[in-house]
Amino acid sequence: MQKDISMTEIATFGAGCFWGVEAAFQGVPGVIDTAVGYSGGETPNPTYKDVCTDETGHAEVVQVTFDPAKVSYEKLLDVFWKAHDPTQVNRQGPDFGSQYRTAIFFHSPEQEAIAKKSRAALETSGKFKRAIATEITPADTFYRAEEYHQKYLQKRGAASCHF
């Protein structure tokens, strides 16, 4: 039986190493699919090796296909904020470089408005002592990462890649 994807939306998030970020979204009811890849840079068709040079401008991202009748974009943002430290600039944990930046790539004016409102609420919440570093920019071309990166933790029976 084929899934009806006619009423789906796409959300794209960068929050450090894409393996753990992808895992955070996989169990969310209403998420239909996830794919890891690269976005936000200048180099066309980058490879993982290219992105790791920190010279392509791309972030490691997760593209989330979701059913907005079952999960809201706001809920996906909640997962995003909890999946990483949005105050870190160009790093998450032991990983550093611009490919690990915190970023929301919006696909519509509605997503942009919701993301900005969500970031502003987090900034004023007092949850973090440092400023939120998350960039909110228009979605650019999504370059799917190599197949061995897709569902990486799931293939290995791991829940996360955090220490």
Max distance between CA atoms of the chain, in angstroms, equals 49
Residues 6+ apart with CB under 8 A from 78: none
> How far is Cα 161 from Cα 126, in angstroms, rounded to an integer?
27
- In three-state secondary structure terms, 147 is helix
**Catalytic residue from among 17, 35, 61, 71:** 17
* Dist. CA 117–CA 51, nearest whole Å: 30
- Do 77 and 65 contact (CB within 8 A), yes or no? no
Judged by DSSP in three states, 112 sits in helix
For the question of residue 17 being annotated catalytic, the response is: yes
| CA-to-CA separations, 65 to 3, 39, 53, in angstroms, rounded | 12, 16, 28
Q: Which residues are catalytic?
A: 17
